[in-house]
């Protein structure tokens, strides 16, 4: 299962984009959304930029991820709100 997460596009080149997600920068392919630009917020899954996000939505998603991680210090909450132990 791939987790999708919001990221900020830092730079774009013919091979893809450098994005900042969570607390690190990484490369993501822009095959699905080739017209992204630096400053765009995007949804990334499996190293692929899937869609452009409204900045407010991106911040809300990140906030929800942070709350979920704080609720489970191991960071492995399941879909029912329980944890894998």
CATH number of the domain bearing residue 46: 2.30.30.140
Confidence of residue 83 (pLDDT cuts 50, 70, 90): very low
* Residue 17, domain member (yes or no): yes
8 pLDDT band, cuts 50/70/90, is very high
Percent pLDDT > 90 in the chain is 59
Q: Is 20 inside a domain boundary?
A: yes
Residue 2 DSSP symbol: P
Q: Where are the alpha helices (DSSP H) in the chain?
A: 55-71
- SS3 for 69? helix
- Its domain, for residue 32, covers 4-71
Spatial distance between the Cα atoms of 82 and 16, rounded to a whole number of angstroms: 36
Q: Which one-letter DSSP state was computed for residue 72?
A: S
The pTM assigned to this predicted structure is: 0.75
- 14 falls within a domain: yes
In a domain, 80, yes or no: no
């Amino acid at each position: 299962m791939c987790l999708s997460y919001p990221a900020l596009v830092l730079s774009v080149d013919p091979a893809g984009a450098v994005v900042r997600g969570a607390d690190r920068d990484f490369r993501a392919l822009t095959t699905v959304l080739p017209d992204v630009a630096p400053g765009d917020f995007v949804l990334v899954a499996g190293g692929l930029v899937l869609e452009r996000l409204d900045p407010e939505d991106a911040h809300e998603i990140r906030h929800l991820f942070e709350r979920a991680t704080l609720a489970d210090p191991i960071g492995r909450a399941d879909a029912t709100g329980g944890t894998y132990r």
